[in-house]
Each structure stands twice: as structure tokens, then as C-alpha cells.
Structure 1
């Protein structure tokens, strides 16, 4: 049974990440059928969390997981750390004495319970006191009904999902909701009284030199050494376990030799994103890093030029991060024609893979054949995703 899982962020009113909901689907060739929630969640716990570790998968945030009645009654949630998961009770679960008693035991053990897609029905009067979080969908209620729900259950943590625009987010904040889930966060940010910082001109100069047929190490090293912050970051990177040895380096040129040209290109672009990071766009940057690594790994498997795919993934949300359309960004940044074409959504192999990854992130059905294309052996998409999360977590620790 091939289960693929992606995570969708859940935000506070301040747009800080509170946690992630696990979105899991089968591949197109092994389609998800009606009551497979028990089997799917059990397989995810066994194959994903027990191998990679739930801390890595959730980036040490809470992970919202759908549990069926059978799993709850069997006390499966207790296999996972209570401080890192939220037990979501599905909206169509059969409510009986056995389920209520199991939920009571989970609550007493310190687990957070959430009622998913909440619409009051018979039996909920026993579950509501046990739940810490009530989840509802934006489109399921009128404005008046949203306000009534907030007034009635204001003593709970109220989470609303399928929030797709910033206007909806602001509206729901006004009603009094506490947590928000949806793709509103990936929409362009209108900063009040604050502009997104411009790209570091030194980085742009370094990129321009790196894109030449025969880039000069000494010139690049000189530009890096003229920027104290950039020098510190490069030395720190060169002396990490990934690149380091028992002999530390202490000059930018030595760091460049150790890291290598291909990796330098990658890290320069990453540093460019880190320089324009702030609270409201931090999750977009995290997503971009995961997406870039996934695209790089799949491209390598398919024997494609992985640097183009990595960069397209990394810059795939740059319009939302900076508030500038891609047409303007394409003029500001020295991009290859393949990457520029993908970001402008003008077709090509790079754009094709970008759309594939975007669909995967949204929990849509994806074809396993695409990942296998031109590859001699199967590439497990879940493994790629998990590794990319681990990689991005370690990368963000280097800042």
C-alpha cells in the first residue's frame, strides 16, 4: 500500500506556525477508497514516524492527524508523543460509549483532541467537553453563523480551514477564531508600513559571476569577504559536518574550494531568500526549500539537469514572498531561460515537475509513473519528501 503524505501549515493570528495537518493520499494507481483511514494512518505511523521520527516530520510543531474510531479505541494515538500530536476525530465517526471512554483516557493522558469539520450532531454533547480544539470549514457557515459559533464555543481553541485568501483570513480574525489553515499564506503579502528588504547586491554580483562559463574563484571570494555577514555564513557552512573535515577553514576562498561550485550556486540562492525572511513569509520560504530539494532529487533520478529544477522550486513562491510579479523578478535576477520559463508558467519540463510537486503538497492524487520517468529504479516520493523536510530543518538551523 503506497501512502504519500504532505503537510499543510496551521497558523496563529500572528501568522506564526502552530502546527501542521497531515494530508495523506494514495497514488493514482492505488486509489484511496472510502473507509481506508484506519489502514492509511496506521501505515503512516509505522513507515513514516517510526523511521524518520515525528520531530523531524513536524519540525517540532504539533502534527494534526486524522484517527478513525478503530484507531482511537485501540489507543494507537498513545504510540506517539502527546506534546507533538493533535488527535483529530473525524466528522463521520460513530459516537458510542467505547469511543467516548477512549477519548476520555486520551485527554487524561495529556493528549489534545480536535473535532474535525464540526457541525453539531447527536452524540457531540459527550465529545465537546473532551475536545480542546474545534475545527470548521470557512465555507460551511455564513458570517452570522461563524460569529454565533465563536460566541458559543469561545472557551475552545477554534480552528477554521480552507482559508484561501488574505481577505478571508482577516475576516475570520475579526470573528475571533484562533487558528487558520489553508493556502492564504502563499498569497502575496501587503506589508503595512514596511517593505520587503531588497536583494543583497553582493549576492546578485556573486550570482552573475557564477553564471559565467568560467567563474573566477578569487573574484567571488573577494566579494564575499567584503560582506562580514556573508563571510560568517560561508565559513559556518564550510565547517559543518556536511562539508567539514578535522581541519577547519578560515577564509572565504578556502570555504569555496571545500564547498564546490555547484553547491555554492545553491547556497547563494538560499542565502538570498534568508535575507528577505520575516514572520509573515517564513513558512513560504520553508516550503520553497522543501520543494527545491524534492525537485532536485527527482531531477537527478530522471537524469535531468538538477540545478534548474532546484532553483525553480526554491523561487516558486518568490512573487508571494516579495510582493512582486514574476515578470519583474525575472528582470531583476540572473535566471537561466529554463528556470525563467517555469516561473512564468510558460511550459517545459521544469514547470511540469513544479506542478507535480504543488499537487502533491495539496494532497491531490499524483501519478507514480512521473517519478519513475527515465529512472531505472523506483523513487519513493514519501522518502523524498521526508528527506527534504529533514534537509530544510538542518539548513534553517544554520542561519
Structure 2
């Protein structure tokens, strides 16, 4: 009988946005468990699992690199709250999110006050009403998270009015539509979190802008291996895209030792393979020339593409074509959200390989290896460990430890891209 793998660390993240829908933080999704060779995941005690992850996250998984310039929200239950392990976390990088399961007894309030004195920022999770027993905790906290799905509009308005009296930042969690976002903005919420920002959905009624249409045409030219002069001319009539292209290709993520100074230089030095991936990323940036490194869709698309590429190498080492196709599937999986178009309409404009199309539009049983990889990548973004378990079982070659390492590398790659853009924007 085969031995089960040792407990593995999983790291996921869900974006937290500001009022302008800019990325300001991540909620880190820590998971731990044992994946047996002949059965599903056996999840160990959640408190011990989270504690184990915390003690290793900032070393083994380099969570500080995964966070980049952003803050990480970490869920804290009662047992972990009173553990010394929590104090190994760097206060400047994390927000301690006190779960709703913790009753604010006097010892809890005293511990929270102690953590505040140590420099930690506190958030309280899943507030749907104000109870007298929770008043001391609300006074201590810095951020109040409101579960808007559990409240109708009138109750949400009333609760928000009461919470504003505490003078704390309000975070609307489980935002799933543009109408909910607009309502919470009108009510004065400063932070927002939910599947509306992190899960790809088509936003009905959005028109593709001319710059994005031009980018799709450029991407098609590159994929068709058009003449360099034709590609350069197509860029020249779009000055904003030209600026953004040079910013992206000058990113530290390119691994180049010299700065790129012109479009022809970029096309020549990068080659068509690298040029194609930067065009795919460029679709997610501001077409007017502002790189918008804190765009959550850019971050998510970049990390998806890189993670898909790393996982593909596990399936077929040194198969560059499969890795390139995997990167494309990861990037393109979010384009319906960005462009407000059906995936079939997007694919009709691009000469993509058949297995790329299959991965993006077929059902899970017919989507091939690339589609199975996409299922794994999407599952890492969810809070449901069973979804990740099911996805991993479809591709046994992707072991939990390898996935964990690849997640950290993909997050770091995407954040390095963003940091470089931030730096260049500041110098401009």
C-alpha cells in the first residue's frame, strides 16, 4: 500500500480593492492537508493547519514575495489568536482577521489589545449586526468586514450607518455584482472583496474599446508571424499602446540586461514568442499609457499565465509549445471579463491552436490537458478545498508540493511585473 504524501502547504489569494477598484491587499487563503495516493484529501485540524502554514509561509513559500507591495489578510481563530506563533508574522505586512467564530470575551479583548500594541492591524470578519458584546472588539479593530450577502438593502444601509460611528474602515465582502459594488460605494465603504473582482464573469453591456480592438489585431499579426514592419506600423498609430508596450517589455520579468528603447528594438530583441506574451498582458493595462500595475485583472491574468506555464512543464518537460499554449490559456481565460465578450467571439479574432480553444470553451471532460490545468489554477483562487482536491485528481502528475511552489513563483513573477511598472510610473 502506498504511503500518503506528507502534509503540504497551499497558498491562494483573493484581491481586496479600493474605491477606484485598484488593488490594495490580498486575503491569503492558507490550506494544509494530506493527499493520499488512493483517496481524496484528508484535511487535518484547521487551526493546526493554519499555524503550520504561518510558521513556514514567510520562508518556504516566500509569502512576502507573493504579496509584493500589498498587505495580506490572514484569518485568525481563537486558538491561533492566543498562540505565540502569530507573533512571528511581520506586522507591517499583514492584517489579522478575527473570525466571527471568536466570542469577544475579556481575554480575547485583552489579547487583541496586546497585538495592537505590538503593531498589528486588526480586522473583524463577517459583521451582519451590532451586538453589545462585540462593542469592545469593534472599538479595537481597524477594519470592519461586512458580509453583504446576508443583508438586504435596507438592513445594509442601517448597519452601515451604525458602523460609521466607530470611525473604522469598512470592507464590503462577497461583492458579486456591479450593482452591489455601486451600492457599497455610495454607502461609504472604502474596501471591497468578492467574486465580482476575482472570478471571471462577463459584464453585460461593456463595449470593447478601440485600443483593445487594436491590440487583438496586433496579437493576431504576431500569432500569424506577420512581417516586423507590419507589426511596427500597427503600433505606431496607437501611441498609448506603444508607451505601455515599452514599459512592459522593460519589466524586470523579461530577464534582459539592457533597456528596450524602440518598438523595432523590442520586436528584435524579444522575439515573437516573448512579444506575443507581452501583447497578451498589455490587453489588461490602461491603453492611455498608465501601466496600472495595481489592476487586479492584470495581476490575476499574469499569475494565471505563469502558473499554467510552470505546471505545463511538469507534464511535458522542455516542451516549449505546450508551455506557450498554457500561458496563453491562463491569460485568455480572463479576457471575457475584461472585454465583455463571449469567449467564442474572442477566439474568432485570433488564430489560436485547437487545443487552446478546446481548453477555453469545452466542458471539463473534453478540455484536454490544458483545460485540466486551468481547472487546477481556477481552484487555487477559491476558498473551497474540495474543488482543488477534485481538480488535482484529474492530473495526478501535479503533486500538492509542486503546485504550492509554483503558486509562490507565479505570484512573485506577477508582482515583480507590477513593481517595475510602479517604479517607472513614479519616475515619469
Coarse TM-score class (shorter-chain normalised): 0.7 to 0.9
DSSP 3-state at the match of 1:380: helix
Paired with 2:141 and 2:223, the residues of 1 have a C-alpha distance of 55
DSSP 3-state at the match of 1:63: strand
State the partner residue of 1:77. Answer: 86
Cα offsets for 1:263-294 (capped at 9, x unmatched): 33322322343354887992112101111111
State the partner residue of 1:5. Answer: 11
State the partner residue of 1:385. Answer: 407
Paired with 1:127 and 1:383, the residues of 2 have a C-alpha distance of 37
Q: CA deviation at 1:159?
A: 1.9
- 1:36 aligned residue (28, 39, 46): 46
- 1:174 aligned residue (179, 186, 198): 186
Distance 1:199 1:151, change over 3 A: closer
Paired with 1:232 and 1:9, the residues of 2 have a C-alpha distance of 23
1:130 and 2:140 matched: yes
- 1:49 aligned residue (51, 54, 58): 58
Cα offsets for 1:200-220 (capped at 9, x unmatched): 6477346435434xx666766
Paired with 2:284 and 2:208, the residues of 1 have a C-alpha distance of 15
CA contact (8 A) 1:5 1:363 kept: no
Aligned length: 391
State the partner residue of 2:282. Answer: 271
Paired with 1:178 and 1:221, the residues of 2 have a C-alpha distance of 42
Report the RMSD for the aligned CA atoms in angstroms: 3.5
Distance 1:256 1:359, change over 3 A: same
State the partner residue of 2:172. Answer: 160
Distance 1:219 1:243, change over 3 A: farther
Per mean C-alpha deviation after superposition, the further-off stretch among 52-61 and 303-312 is: 52-61
Q: CA deviation at 1:40?
A: 2.3
Per mean C-alpha deviation after superposition, the further-off stretch among 215-224 and 262-271 is: 215-224
TM-score normalised by L of structure 1: 0.83
Cα offsets for 1:143-166 (capped at 9, x unmatched): 232222212211322222222111
Distance 1:93 1:263, change over 3 A: same
- 1:287 aligned residue (300, 322, 332): 300
Paired with 2:228 and 2:96, the residues of 1 have a C-alpha distance of 53
Q: Structure 1: any 5+ residue segments left out of the alignment?
A: none
DSSP 3-state at the match of 2:12: strand
1:244 and 2:263 matched: no
Cα offsets for 1:92-121 (capped at 9, x unmatched): 125443322221112233322111122555
CA contact (8 A) 1:308 1:339 kept: yes
Q: Structure 2: any 5+ residue segments left out of the alignment?
A: 1-6, 422-428
State the partner residue of 1:143. Answer: 153
Matches within 5 A, 1:81-100: 81-100=90-109
State the partner residue of 1:321. Answer: 338
Q: CA deviation at 1:3?
A: 2.7
Q: CA deviation at 1:316?
A: 0.8
Distance 1:54 1:201, change over 3 A: same
Q: CA deviation at 1:184?
A: 1.1
TM-score normalised by L of structure 2: 0.78
State the partner residue of 2:311. Answer: 298
Q: CA deviation at 1:180?
A: 1.9
1:396 and 2:396 matched: no
Paired with 1:235 and 1:14, the residues of 2 have a C-alpha distance of 22
Paired with 1:328 and 1:44, the residues of 2 have a C-alpha distance of 42
